[in-house]
């Protein structure tokens, strides 16, 4: 009970799109709202809180489902110059209507705790991209019963980014994920194009998906905007569509904040 209380406090404290400030030391680069993780790490001895809300709609011939992430929080701490620690947690909800009976089932609770790291391994140099490596582990025993997985889940990925101009950047990820239900991985990819409309307003468009060793591939597209309120405070809004029946549509709102400024 005490563990869940502590984890709930982490969710309430606050949770990735790229927005740049003029001074590199005060640059705010987040890992939300898009699915493409940036190749940048949080500055040394800085804590970055990236938090948000997500709603997904899924309709099939069998059921209509709404999935909510009431609060998805990612804490990122710059332990070393090129190395950050990551801690993530979500408070989830689901509302499912069974078409054949009209019955509605609802569940809510904490997701498993995510622990991970990001290490920057190469700077951008001409045509060569900036590169980072991310690794993470999801601990099922920290979740509420409805959202526990059978086994620990894990993910690894490489993040690449290119600066195409003063206002346009291009990023992509390649990796693998284990969902905690089977030992069979799904291979993840993402491609994102970002642009700075003004010094404070940015936009992105993205394609991403999963290619499992068994089962059908899943592909999605999304787009959104970021707004830099202060050099260390950013708002975001985004939405997208699934290209298969797994997810019909989704939308997200978020806030990112870094300490110290």
Buried b (16+ CB within 10 A) or exposed e, 17-50: bbbbbeeeeebbbbbbbbbbbbbbbbbeebbbbb
Paired residues of 156 in beta bridges? 135, 176
Distance CA 74, CA 206 (A): 21
Task: Please state whether the peptide bond connecting residue 148 to the residue before it is cis, i.e. omega within 30 degrees of 0.
Answer: no
- Would you write out the chain's pLDDT as a tens digit for each of its 261 residues? 434 433 343 444 333 333 333 334 568 999 999 999 999 999 999 999 999 999 999 887 677 889 999 999 999 999 999 999 999 999 999 998 887 787 888 999 999 999 999 999 999 999 999 999 999 999 999 999 999 999 999 999 999 999 999 999 999 999 999 999 988 999 999 999 999 999 999 999 999 999 998 888 999 999 999 999 999 999 999 999 998 766 789 999 999 999 986
The rounded distance, in Å, linking the Cα atoms of 222 and 240 is: 4
In 10 A of CB 119, how many CB atoms?
15
How confident is the model at residue 246, as a pLDDT?
65
pLDDT of residue 202: 97
DSSP string, 158-213: EEEEEE-SSSEEEEEEEEEEE-SS-S--EEEEEEEEEEESSSSEEEEEEEEEEEES
As given in the structure block, the two tokens for residue 44 are 């040394």
3-class DSSP state of 245: coil
The residue ranges of every structural domain in the chain are 2-254
- In this prediction, residue 245 carries a pLDDT of 62
User: ∠ at Cα 109 (154, 15), nearest 5°?
Assistant: 60
Q: Give kind and range of the element (H or E) at residue 258.
A: strand 249-259
Residue 3 per-residue DSSP state: H
- The residue whose two tokens read 């060569």 is 128
Q: Are 160 and 144 in contact (CB under 8 A)?
A: no
Nearest to 222 by CA among 49, 48, 19, 34: 34
- The two most distant CA atoms of the chain are separated, in Å, by 60
Per the CB < 8 A criterion, the answer to whether 143 and 109 are in contact is yes
Q: Please state, in angstroms and as integers, the Cα–Cα distance from residue 86 to each residue in 48, 83, 93, 100, 190, following that order.
A: 10, 10, 23, 43, 20
pLDDT at 4: 43
**Fold type of domain 2-254:** Porin (2.40.160)
Query: What does the pLDDT read at residue 2?
Result: 38
Q: What is the pLDDT of residue 243?
A: 87
Q: What is the pTM of this model?
A: 0.85
Residue 227's nearest CA partner among 256, 258, 191 is 256
5 phi-psi bin (left φ>0, alpha ψ -120 to 50, beta other): alpha
- State residue 20's pLDDT score: 38
């Amino acid at each position: 009970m005490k563990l869940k209380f502590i984890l709930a406090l982490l969710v309430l404290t606050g949770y990735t799109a790229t927005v740049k400030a003029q001074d590199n030391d005060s640059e705010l680069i987040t890992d939300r709202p898009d699915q493409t993780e940036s190749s940048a790490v949080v500055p040394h001895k800085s804590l970055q809180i990236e938090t948000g809300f997500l709603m997904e709609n899924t309709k099939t011939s069998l059921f209509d489902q709404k999935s909510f992430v009431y609060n998805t929080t990612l804490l990122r701490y710059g332990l070393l110059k090129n190395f950050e620690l990551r801690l993530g947690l979500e408070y989830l909800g689901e509302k499912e209507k069974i078409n054949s009976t009209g019955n509605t089932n609802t569940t809510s609770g904490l997701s498993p705790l995510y622990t991970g790291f990001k290490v920057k391994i190469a700077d951008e140099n001409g045509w060569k991209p900036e590169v980072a490596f991310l690794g993470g582990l999801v601990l099922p025993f920290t979740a509420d019963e409805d959202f526990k997985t059978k086994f620990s889940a894990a993910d690894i990925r490489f993040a690449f980014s290119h600066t195409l101009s003063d206002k346009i950047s291009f990023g992509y990820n390649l990796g693998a994920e284990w969902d905690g239900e089977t030992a069979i991985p799904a291979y993840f990819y993402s491609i994102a194009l970002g642009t700075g409309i003004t010094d404070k307003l940015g936009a992105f468009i993205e394609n991403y998906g999963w290619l499992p060793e068994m089962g059908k591939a899943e592909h999605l597209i999304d787009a959104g905007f970021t707004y830099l309120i202060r050099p260390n405070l950013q708002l975001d809004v985004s939405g997208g569509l699934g290209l298969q029946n797994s997810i019909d549509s989704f939308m997200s709102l978020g806030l990112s904040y870094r300490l110290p400024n």
